[in-house]
Amino acid sequence: MSRLVVVSNRVPSTSPAKSEAGGLAVALQAALNETGGLWFGWSGKVVEPPAPAPTVTQCDRFTLATLDLARPDYEGYYNGFANRTLWPLLHSRLDLTSFDAAFFQSYQQVNALFAARLTPLLTPDDAVWVHDYHLIPLGEELRRAGLDNPLGFYLHIPFPSPEVMMALPWHRELAKALCAYDLIGFQTRRDLQNFRDFMQREMHGAIDGDGNLQVFGRTLVANAFPIGIDADKFAAMAGNAEPQEPRPSEHARRHRQIIGVDRLDYTKGLVERFRAFEALIETHPEYHGRVCLTQVAAPSREHVPEYLGIRAELEKIAGGINGRFAELDWTPIHYINRSFGQKQLTGLYRNSEIGLVTPLRDGMNLVAKEYVASQDPENPGVLVLSQFAGAAEQLLGALIVNPYDIQSVAKVLHSALAMPVAERRARWRPMMASLCREDIGHWRDSFLRALFAARQPRRIYHLVPERRAVGLSDIARPDMARPDIGQSDNRVGVISELRKAR
Ligand code: ADQ
């Protein structure tokens, strides 16, 4: 097992102008740079006709290989099945889910295309890690092409209840496709449980004595690996950001700030969030002229019709609330449709007394973690967090809310604004400690360790003894496959396994 191959729909940007990569890209690039490796995905370009071979670029110590998509593939696979079928379905929004057989066909074709382009770049020792809902059938296509390598899949978004999955006419095809992987990772225990229930109840799977899933004649390991952030980096950026970027406006300096930061997506609960803020200022006139909600919502998936609808609705609601309550020197909602760099975001988080993160459903929600990591340890703000964000399983010091219950979110906002500093510190410290402990590197290494362990029967036994001497026995321990039962931080070990076993 020598080289790590990461496959995702989109790949990190190689342009210096877009160097503010997210935590995920940074963490995976770090692993790839340490061990050498390959990152494969869509270039983001729609080209007629697409080149027959991937474009290969050398970045530091890893190779980036990208393919372009033809217009019909982009429409059917990306805008269609990925973003109009799987995204709403897996977020339990059946009301917004398109059930279009042409979308599914395109999704399968593009996954087969990914496999055809990737296969010639693989070597027998590669460990392949596929990311997210765009690429569920990729593993099966790679197996069909004869790949016998360790193959892992990580789902960044929720796995819904079996009843919701069963609404998809192609649920069986997806279930079978998932079984091509040796390891499937989910964000939370709830997602893992939903997946197990679906496989057991609807696909006649069984859990064996080792806790593995036996289904469709295959054994696979499934587990929860909650994604983390580079908490130290956020804390350092927020602590050192002098002068703060962006400089708080005169308006922001004079008012107590509540911050929301999201992609503009109907899963993020922005309508309900605006309504809750409206209920707060409606029921508490003492906040008039004193408290502002700054909502940053970066435009996203603008070619998907459902996203145009939510954008128009939010503009109307924000305009309505501002029109009703604003004074010459106070605008209650600052609604900003653009994205900011990480440094600017940490400044916004740090200057806000409340981080308001209220998705209706979310795999994890990294903004919640970034808000916590950016706080001043002596005077931290309060995180108000939806019970439906994956992060709610970990961030136990947050004030947990039901985002649909608008009046009670308003009440919680009021308590948060009144919370004494001692309680804020007591809530923040354990959350920050857990963010540092279970950071993005921990997530990556836990997954890779479990992937190696999942392949133990076929891989470890034909390792030569010298390789055992450099510590492969560490990753062969069955308990290492389970992050929830005392996984020690063995990061150096995992990276060195990838490197030394070359
Ligand atoms: P997203 O749905 O994109 O991710 P989230 O995890 O909150 O949701 O955000 C991802 C990143 O985008 C964060 O680092 C955040 O700072 C950044 N971001 C969001 N809005 C921004 C803005 N306006 N300007 C600049 N940056 C912005 C999916 C799943 C999540 C899961 C992640 C990672 O939907 O549930 O947590 O993948 O696995």
Q: Whole-angstrom Cα distance, residue 93 to residue 310?
A: 14
Q: Whole-angstrom Cα distance, residue 232 to residue 234?
A: 6
- Cβ of 270 less than 6 Å from ligand 1: no
410 has pLDDT over 90? yes
Active-site residue, from 91, 131, 134, 156:
156
Closest by CA to 297, choosing from 341, 353, 342, 335, is 335
- Cβ of 389 less than 6 Å from ligand 1: no
| Beta strands, E only, 196-255 | 206-207, 213-215, 218-224
- Cβ of 365 less than 6 Å from ligand 1: yes
Report how far ligand 1's centroid is from the alpha carbon of 270 (Å): 14
Report how far ligand 1's centroid is from the alpha carbon of 298 (Å): 10
Closest-lying ligand 1 atom to the alpha carbon of residue 357: 7
Give the pLDDT mean for 363-380: 97
Residue 25, both tokens: 């890209």
Q: What mean pLDDT, rounded, does the chain reach?
A: 88
Q: Which residues of 76-92 are buried (b: 16+ CB within 10 A; e: fewer)?
A: bbbbbbbbbbbbbbbbb
Closest by CA to 23, choosing from 231, 224, 262, is 231
Facing residues of 37 across strands? 4, 62
- Cβ of 298 less than 6 Å from ligand 1: yes
Assess contact for 359 and 268: CB atoms under 8 A: yes
What pLDDT is stored for residue 15 in this prediction? 65
Report how far ligand 1's centroid is from the alpha carbon of 262 (Å): 6
Query: Domains in the chain, please, with CATH?
Result: 4-228+440-501 (3.40.50.2000), 231-437 (3.40.50.2000)
Query: Is residue 156 among the annotated active site residues?
Result: yes
Which residue shows structure tokens 């002068």?
243
- Cβ of 227 less than 6 Å from ligand 1: yes
What pLDDT is stored for residue 24 in this prediction? 74
Assess contact for 326 and 335: CB atoms under 8 A: no
Q: Residue 291: which H helix or E strand, with range?
A: strand 291-298
Residue 160, both tokens: 């819904």
Q: Residue type at 377? A: P
- Cβ of 367 less than 6 Å from ligand 1: yes
Write out pLDDT tens, residues 435-474: 999 999 999 999 999 999 997 554 333 322 322 222 222 3
Give the pLDDT mean for 150-157: 96
Write out pLDDT tens, residues 191-220: 999 999 999 999 999 999 988 999 999 999
Percent of the chain with pLDDT over 70: 86
- Order across the sheet with 206-207: list the strands: 55-59, 62-69, 37-46, 4-10, 127-131, 151-154, 183-186, 218-224, 213-215, 206-207
Closest-lying ligand 1 atom to the alpha carbon of residue 391: 36
- Cβ of 262 less than 6 Å from ligand 1: yes
Active-site residue, from 126, 182, 265, 362:
362
HEC profile of 183-198 = EEEECCHHHHHHHHHH
Q: Whole-angstrom Cα distance, residue 500 to residue 502?
A: 5
What pLDDT is stored for residue 486 in this prediction? 31
- Cβ of 54 less than 6 Å from ligand 1: no
Cα–chain center distance at 89: 16
Which residue has a Cα nearest atom 3 of ligand 1? 263
Give the pLDDT mean for 227-252: 77
Q: If pLDDT is split at 50, 70 and 90, which confidence band does 364 have?
A: very high
Report how far ligand 1's centroid is from the alpha carbon of 375 (Å): 18
Give the pLDDT mean for 280-299: 97
495 has pLDDT over 70? no
34 has pLDDT over 50? yes
Apex 210 CA angle, 206 and 216, nearest 5: 35
- Top mutation candidate among 13, 18, 263 for ligand 1, by most atoms within 8 Å of CB: 263
Query: Is residue 148 among the annotated active site residues?
Result: no
Report how far ligand 1's centroid is from the alpha carbon of 288 (Å): 31
